[in-house]
Every structure is written in C-alpha cells, then in structure tokens.
C-alpha cells in the first residue's frame, strides 16, 4: 500500500499547478489515514511493518540463547468475566468418566463395573475392546450411580456418587530403570495412558505407535483463562518434574512450550530434563499443535503425544505416590457473578460445579472447555476429561434489527469494519448468536491471519470437502486438530463449520491409512 503513496504525493504536486487546496487536503487525509492504519493498527503489511519496527524485545527472563519464537498470526479474544484467583468452595458429589471424551475407541466399551458397585479412586471402570490392556479408571471413590447411554446404546457417562472420604486404590510403583515396555504396561494398567493425546488425529495413544516426541504446552491462550502458574503449588511442580523424568522412558524428546508473555518468569521454566521453547504472540500460541509446528513441524508419519500440565500432575502423583489422584483446578469464567476456580476431582457435574451460578431463569450456555472449541453441556451433564475450564456465555437466540449493519453493542470481531479494532484487548461480552447465515466460501486470506501454520487453510478445507486425499495430506491435515482451526471458524465471514469439516477430513485420512 505504501507504494501508492509516493505516486499520490508527487503526482499531486504535478497536478497542483493551480494550488488546489481542497485536492491537497483530501489527498493528505487519505494518506494520513492509510499511514496511521498501517503503522499503528497493523491492518495490512505486518511483514513490511517489521522492517521499520524490529521484533518485539525478548523478555528479560529469557536468556538470548534460549529457543524463542514470536507468533505474529492470531487473535486474542478478550471476553468479560475472566476467571480470577479466587477459590470457590463447591459441594460436588457426582462425577463422571465419559467414554465419548476419548477418540479412537469404540462407542460401547466393555464395562467392568455395574450400577451400585463401590469403586476406589483409580479402580478400572471400563476398557475399549480394541485396546483391551488400556484401563480407564475412576476419578473418585464412590458408588456407581448410573451408566448413561446415548444414541445406538453408546455409553456416554459412568456416573459415580462420591464418598465423603476418598479411598485411593494403591498402585504398584515403577522403577526409573524400567524398560520402555514395562512403563507402557504400567501406564495402561494404572489409567495413565488416557491422560495423553496422540497426534495426529487427537486419539487415545496406542502402544503400537510410540511417540518420537512428547510435547507439553504449559499455558492456555484461549479466551477466559486464568494462568495455571497462579494456581499450581510448589509440590505440583515436583510431581510434574517426576513425570517428565519418567517420560524419558518413552522418548528423550520431551519438549515444553513456555509463555514468553507472562508478567514474570513462569515456574515451569525451572523444570529440568526437557527441551524448553518460549513463545510470544496471540492466541492460538498456547495451543500445543501450534507450538509443535513452530518448533519442528510434524513429519508425515511422525507420532507425537501431548499431555496437559494438570494431567502431568496426576501422572506425577501416580508415579511418585502410587495413587490416581485426579484432583485439578477448574476455572470458571464468563457470564458468572464470581469468576474463579474450583479444586476438585476430574469430571465433575456441571450443575454442581456452577452451583448458584446455574440458574434456570438466565438463558445461558455452559461450555466444558473454551468458548472456541469446548462442548456444550447441560446442568446435569459433566465436564469433559480434556479440559480444566468451564465457560458460561449467554445464548443469542434473539433477533436483532439491522444487527448486521448497525449492531446495538460492541461484540468481539476481527473485522476492521467495526471500530472496536481501535481498542484491542478491551473485554467485550459475547453470545452464541452466529451473527449471520452460512454462506459459500467468499472471502480469502481470513484464515491465514489466525492460523500460525505454514499451510493454505482455504485450499485445505476445500480439499476435505471434496475428499481430495492427496491434497489434504500434503497440506498437513495431520498437524492440525479442531482447537487449532477454532479461530478460523470464529473469524469466518461465511460461518462455515470448519472444526467439523476438519474432523471429517481427519477421520477420512485415518480410515485410509
């Protein structure tokens, strides 16, 4: 764009023989507007900008020789009601282990308990017939209250009513000098394996596909987040360190992604025995898939396991203490009176977790996970296993007059047709309205702006829709999961269901391999 300006200015000098003040005024205004936009609002040409403004300085707590990467693409959605460091006491008695949380297993797992049985925390509840050695263990001790079934008799929930005192099943610990096979067997038996996610496809890890790398993102950049470093205690880091030490039995390539935008050095940086990578930027820079790609892109046949830091604490307790203690911090944010966090076992009941925040006269949606890629849950359903976050947002099932043209209030948007782009980082409230109808793909270049992966998202999605196996594999579908393209879906002018499309593609590729 800057190229236009010299032409304009010296062109206009030539044309200004009769000193046309109006003309020069108009030209000056256009030029100034473009210049301001370009320099300060980062609308276009961020590459050109970087010529004049060198890279943002690395924070002081990062040594110059450490791996540091700034991710320019992305968009951080600031929402009202961000969780605060404020512990909320809740009486939660019902927990559930949900087979639907694990991809790559059959819809009807083999149950090892039945309704009315008493189970200890860490006791196996079911296993998948395709992976008979991998146990899915109870997050709490208590009585099996209900085994819920969904479509085609698929098991959706194994509901456990918690005892007042938690009774942990004691598990035989494993030595650090164990072999790789012994460690895998330990993970399978103790319920540690389902804590991991295997990439590509985001499925339950399989012992026939051992990872060449294990990657851990220590922070979350999605909306409504409370940094984990504010919640974890010193001993939790010890458990994480213990778990990382053991992970070397699987592979020596243990990597962790660290937040370079944190106000002070995150305690994760003191972990040892792992490769550390600092990332700065905008969401989705906290997504583990984005960090893997920006460290060393996944090879076509490579297997990478990922694990969440809170699951790493669980794993550390399993290894160090020999108990399956699933307790973790659930943050609570969004349209709630008291944003904060709850410390409880995994898979709590949504209604009980929300407590008095869940009122039926408020038309709210409860999301297990982030508002970008979480799952919708009712009050009698349960928080999913792969998240530590609960978001509450108002439903948007209402009409708005000329809402597309003159919205009544500011809403999160990446579009510069709204003036809120002048106030980035200003928290706004959002609802679930789609703000428009689904259309064919029209706009281009939108997805690229928010997907820090070296690929062409629009051709990728079109390849998935047309079942073009070669192209979708070539464009790196194996490097992506739903959470990575969630921001593309948010920004999409045509309101296309991109996460669903991506999953169809992943399922297709997986079925063809």
Q: In terms of C-beta distances under 8 Å and separation of at least 24 residues, what long-range contacts does 61-68 make, across chains too?
A: 61/264, 61/265, 61/269, 62/260, 62/278, 66/276, 66/278, 67/275, 67/276, 67/277, 67/278, 67/295, 68/260, 68/277, 68/278, 68/279, 68/280
Structure tokens of 299?
Answer: 């090879």
**What is the Cβ-side half-sphere exposure of residue 132, based on CA atoms within 13 angstroms?**
1
CA distance 62 to 229: 17
- 122 Rama sector, left if φ>0, alpha if ψ -120 to 50, beta otherwise: left
Q: Which is nearer to another protein, 7 or 234 (CB)?
A: 7
What value, to the nearest 5°, has the Cα angle with vertex 200 and ends 247 and 209? 50
Contact between residue 97 and residue 125 where contact means Cβ atoms under 8 Å apart: yes
Binding of another protein by 135 (CB under 8 A):
no
One symbol per residue from 77 to 106: x for binding another protein (CB under 8 A), - otherwise; what is it? x-x---------------------------
Q: Which stretch binds another protein (CB under 8 A): 25-33, 97-105, 148-156, 248-256?
A: 25-33
State in angstroms the smallest separation of the CB of 411 from another protein.
4
Residues 45-64 touching another protein, rule: CB under 8 A, are 45
Give how many residues touch another protein by CB under 8 A: 98
Block residue for tokens 């639907």: 100
Task: Please choose, from the candidates 464, 471, 469, 459, the residue with its C-alpha nearest in 3D space to the C-alpha of residue 501.
Answer: 464
Task: From 142-150, 160-168, 312-320, 495-503, give the range in contact with another protein by CB under 8 A.
Answer: 495-503
Instruction: Specify the residue, 89 or 401, whose C-beta has the smaller distance to another protein.
Output: 401
What φ, ψ does residue 213 adopt, rounded to 5°? -145, 150
**What is the rounded CA–CA span in Å between residue 306 and residue 487?**
21
Least distance in angstroms from the C-beta of 364 to another protein: 11
Residues 264-303 that bind another protein (CB under 8 A): 297, 299-301
Q: Map residues 1-20 to x or -, x wherever contact with another protein holds by CB under 8 A.
A: x-xx--xx-xxx-xx-xx-x
Q: Of 85, 176, 338, 416, which one interacts with another protein (CB under 8 A)?
A: 416
Tell me which residues in 426-465 interact with another protein (CB under 8 A): 430-437, 439-445, 448, 454-456, 458-459
Closest to another protein by CB, 151 or 470: 470
Q: How far is the CB of 391 from another protein (least distance, A)?
A: 8
State the binding string over 145-174 for another protein (x if CB under 8 A, else -).
Answer: ------------------------------
Q: Which uninterrupted H or E stretch holds 460?
A: helix 457-465
Report the nearest approach of another protein to the CB of residue 228 (Å): 22
Residue 272 C-beta: closest distance to another protein, Å: 30
Of the listed pieces 153-161, 303-311, 322-330, 487-495, which binds another protein according to CB under 8 A? 487-495
Q: Rounded CA gap, 490 and 449, in Å? A: 12
**Site for another protein, residues 299 to 318, rule: CB under 8 A:** 299-301
Q: According to the binding rule CB under 8 A, does residue 26 interact with another protein?
A: yes
Pick 132 or 497: Cβ nearer another protein:
497
Nearer to another protein, 269 or 460 (CB): 460
Q: Does 21 bind another protein (CB under 8 A)?
A: no
Chain residues 369-398 in contact with another protein, contact rule CB under 8 A: 371-376, 391, 393, 395-398
User: Please, what is the Cα angle at 490 between 488 and 494, to 5 degrees?
Assistant: 85
The secondary structure of 113-136, three-state, reads CCCCCEECECCEEEEECCEEEEEE
x/- contact string, 463-482, with another protein (CB under 8 A)? -------xx--xxx-----x
């Amino acid at each position: 764009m800057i190229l236009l300006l010299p032409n304009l200015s010296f062109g206009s000098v030539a044309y200004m023989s009769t000193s046309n003040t109006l003309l020069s005024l108009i030209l000056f205004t256009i030029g100034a507007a473009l210049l301001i936009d370009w320099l300060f609002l980062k609308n276009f040409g961020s590459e050109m900008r970087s010529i004049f403004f060198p890279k943002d300085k690395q924070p002081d707590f990062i040594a110059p020789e450490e791996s540091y990467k700034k991710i320019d693409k992305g968009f951080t959605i600031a929402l009202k009601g961000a969780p605060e460091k404020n512990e909320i006491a809740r009486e939660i008695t019902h927990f559930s282990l949900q087979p639907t949380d694990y991809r790559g297993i059959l819809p009807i797992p083999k149950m090892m308990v039945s309704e009315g049985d008493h189970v200890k925390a860490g006791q196996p509840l079911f296993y998948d017939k395709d992976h008979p050695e991998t146990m899915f263990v109870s997050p709490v001790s208590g009585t099996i209250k209900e085994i819920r079934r969904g479509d085609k008799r698929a098991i959706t929930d194994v509901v456990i009513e918690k005892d007042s005192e938690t009774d942990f099943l004691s598990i035989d610990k494993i030595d650090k000098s164990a072999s790789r096979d012994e460690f895998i067997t330990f993970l399978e038996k103790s319920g540690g394996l389902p804590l991991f996610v295997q990439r590509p496809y985001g499925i339950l890890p399989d012992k026939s596909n051992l990872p060449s790398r294990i990657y851990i993102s220590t922070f979350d950049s999605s909306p409504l987040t409370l940094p984990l470093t504010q919640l974890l205690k010193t001993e939790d880091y010890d458990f994480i360190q213990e778990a990382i030490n053991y992970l070397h039995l699987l592979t020596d390539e243990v990597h962790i992604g660290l937040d370079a935008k944190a106000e002070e050095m995150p305690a994760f940086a003191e972990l040892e025995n792992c490769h550390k990578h600092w990332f700065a930027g905008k969401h989705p820079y906290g997504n583990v898939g984005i960090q893997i790609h920006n460290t060393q892109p996944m090879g076509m046949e490579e297997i990478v396991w990922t694990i969440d830091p809170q699951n790493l604490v669980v794993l550390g307790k399993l290894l160090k203490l020999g108990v399956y203690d699933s307790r973790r911090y659930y943050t609570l944010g969004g349209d709630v009176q008291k944003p904060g966090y709850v410390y409880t076992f995994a898979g709590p009941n949504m209604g009980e977790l929300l407590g008095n925040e869940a009122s039926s006269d408020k038309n709210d949606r409860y999301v297990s996970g982030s508002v970008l890629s979480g799952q919708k849950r009712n009050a009698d359903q349960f928080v999913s296993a792969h998240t530590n976050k609960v978001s509450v947002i108002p439903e948007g099932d209402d009409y708005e007059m000329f809402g597309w043209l003159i919205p009544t209030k500011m809403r999160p948007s990446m579009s510069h047709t709204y003036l809120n782009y002048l106030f980035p980082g200003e928290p706004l409230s959002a609802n679930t309205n789609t703000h428009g109808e689904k259309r064919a793909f029209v706009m281009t270049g939108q997805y690229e702006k928010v997907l820090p992966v070296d690929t062409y998202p629009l051709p990728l999605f079109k390849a998935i829709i047309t079942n073009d196996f070669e192209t979708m594999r070539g464009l790196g579908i194996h490097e992506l999961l739903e959470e990575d393209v969630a921001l593309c879906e948010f920004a999409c002018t045509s309101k296309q269901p991109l996460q669903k499309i991506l999953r169809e593609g992943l399922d297709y590729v997986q079925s063809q391999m």
